[in-house]
Structure 1
Amino acid sequence: MDNIEITKEWDKVFPKSDEVNHEKITFKNKYGFSLVADLYEPKDANEKLPAIAVSGPFGAVKEQSSGLYAQELAKRGFLTIAFDPSFTGESSGEPRYMASPDINTEDFQAAVDFLVTNDKVDADKIGILGICGWGGMALNAASIDTRIKATVTSTMYNMTRINAKGYFDEADNPDARYEMKVMLNNQRTEDYKNGEYVRAGGVVDPLPDDAPFFVKDYYDYYKTERGYHKRSLNSNDGWNAIGCMSFISQPIIAYSNEIRSAVLIIHGDKAHSCYMSKDEFEKLEGDNKELLIIPDAVHTDLYDDLDIIPFDKIAEFYKENF
């Protein structure tokens, strides 16, 4: 039996819009975990709607960026859901604060299950949107789920690449990976002995003066009033130290070249992570794929900056490809 508690009050980091209806919903993935989501829909909708499932960033919750995206797209005519992935937020899954290439891809597919069977949704017009690490997961889901007609990624991370190779691929060699595996497996032993999982820590706090820019960028979102949320892993103690270990040897997006549905990849040209979107785009095939680079935008600008995130473009992309 799932032990989940669903918050009834509005506790997002962004204001509630009076242009949409909002409700909390739940659905199960194929592993039996209950996923909790916020559903947004245009007010006074009187016909079946195209629908979009949204998640991310990696280590965030639906009360942060994904909810903002979902609400903004609902204002533009879509039924949307922003969900907490398994093991995080209000969704179920034990132990807490774990990640999985398989289960997290399944989370997106379970969201599609919910949407295609919803009486308010046009089942032939389903899209997904992944932010940060969930951008890579969205591409992974699109490569296996033919019900997904269009996919958008925003400020994307490939979680296999970052875990196996490090930032900017600086640890892309067998010796570096081996040392990391030794460290993680030693931690597994300690966790088992102690009967609890050590957390890796979220965004560093207090922020050192010599912190790299991308760390300062994350701090500005997750650790300040701008984006802090009490259930967010990144805002607090982070993932379990071994929580992302399986990504090292279980690659995602292995068959992105076989995605036949439409894909729009969006990234800021000043983002430390931009190379990941550019490289993933190069793997895509077909004339329904698009790369949109936003001038002067850093990684977290695409988390919440309404003046920078191209919501009208995103909505147009979905409508054209449904």
Structure 2
Amino acid sequence: MAKLEMTPVWDKVFPQSDKVDHSKVSFHNRYGIELAADVYKPKRATGKLQAIAICGPFGAVKEQSSGLYAQQLAERGFLTIAFDPSFTGESGGSPRYVASPDINTEDFSAAVDYLANRSDVNPEAIGIIGICGWGGMALNAAANDPRIKATVASTIYNMSRVTANGYFDADDSAEKRNALRAKLAAQRTADYANGDYARAGGVVDPVPADAPQFVKDYHEYYKTSRGYHARSLNSNDGWNATSALSFINMPLDSYIGEIENPVLLIHGEKAHSLYFSKAAYEQLEHGVNPSNKKLMIIPGANHTDLYDRLDVIPFNAIDEFFTKNLH
């Protein structure tokens, strides 16, 4: 595996904490892809710590929301890592800018592999957080990997559902899916002929006046100084257009009702995506161990408020959840 090139400078979209030691590491997944991560460790911490691996949002990098979550929770005593998924950011993998329900689920378990082998981590006390589209991946990983002792999914997207059915399931028909498949299949032919991969485009810029409010919210985060990052797909040219193919055909979260360990779903009351958390919670409620599953709805919050709003993200509740369940 090729050695990753990771920037030595602090280039996050949030200020660095003086309560936390920060370092950069890499680890590999089961497919041989080397992943880049930021480690956040409480200053003067000793012994084996509870640990949390964090990823997302979908199309973001570790210098954005996941890093903010990681630093905040490290201030509270956890050893945390925020990592770039395969094929994105500073992580390895070729071609670039590809997403996969399988490989990206595996990325979470690879982070657990890494944490479980650190001398300063209690291998029986590892949790994960998935933000936005990585919320769905986190639940998928928790269903398949019992080493994940507790899972938080924040402002979740189920990327299979939204890709296959459209927003609010408006395109949920064989006819619409077959039209999308035909379009993407033609793109594959063109990509092969061109020797390169067309990009789907990041967040719309400029935003049309009649755009839905959630598109305006995405723009406010990804395209302004609030959250823009040069390596972020959403801030720039987006995913490979053909990444959507695997999500149409491979449903995420089919077995999340079999998650035995605790799960906390967090979503904004005003988020356009709230229906994803409600659907996931319904599966968990009818699963093997509903007693340790919880849905927390944040009054007045929209989807992107849970990316970076320190006055909105319920870090006290997240801290309490992991403290209780990682032991």
Tell me the TM-score normalized by structure 1.
0.99
1:242, 1:300 → 2: CA distance?
25
1:304 aligns with 2:305: no
1:55 to partner: Cα distance: 0.1
Aligned to 1:44: 44
Matches within 5 A, 1:83-232: 83-232=83-232
Q: Is the 8 A contact 1:130 1:153 kept in 2?
A: yes
Q: Is the 8 A contact 1:98 1:244 kept in 2?
A: no
Deviates more, 1:279-288 or 1:296-305: 279-288
SS at match of 1:314: helix
Which letter does structure 2 place at the counterpart of 1:149?
Answer: K
Q: Is the 8 A contact 1:105 1:141 kept in 2?
A: yes
1:319 aligns with 2:326: no
1:206 to partner: Cα distance: 1.1
Of the candidates 283, 288, 292, which is equivalent to residue 288 of structure 1?
292
Tell me the alpha carbon deviations over residues 3-43 of structure 1, each in whole angstroms, 9 at most, x when there is no partner. 63100000000000000000000000011111000000100
1:271 aligns with 2:271: yes
1:70 to partner: Cα distance: 0.3
Tell me the alpha carbon deviations over residues 200-227 of structure 1, each in whole angstroms, 9 at most, x when there is no partner. 1000111111111110010000000000
What's the Cα RMSD here? Answer: 0.7
Identity of aligned residues (%): 65
How many residues are aligned here? 322
2:183, 2:63 → 1: CA distance?
33
Which letter does structure 2 place at the counterpart of 1:207?
Answer: V
1:281, 1:189 → 2: CA distance?
40
Q: Which runs of 5+ in 1 are unaligned?
A: none
SS at match of 1:243: helix
SS at match of 1:80: strand
Matches within 5 A, 1:250-261: 250-261=250-261
2:186, 2:53 → 1: CA distance?
37
2:59, 2:43 → 1: CA distance?
31
2:280, 2:199 → 1: CA distance?
30
Which letter does structure 2 place at the counterpart of 1:310?
Answer: P
Structure 1 runs of 4+ aligned residues shifted over 4 Å read none
Tell me the alpha carbon deviations over residues 45-103 of structure 1, each in whole angstroms, 9 at most, x when there is no partner. 11110000000000000000000000000001100000000000000000000011110
Q: Which runs of 5+ in 2 are unaligned?
A: none
1:2, 1:104 → 2: CA distance?
20
2:292, 2:121 → 1: CA distance?
24
Which letter does structure 2 place at the counterpart of 1:64?
Answer: Q
Q: Is the 8 A contact 1:140 1:253 kept in 2?
A: yes
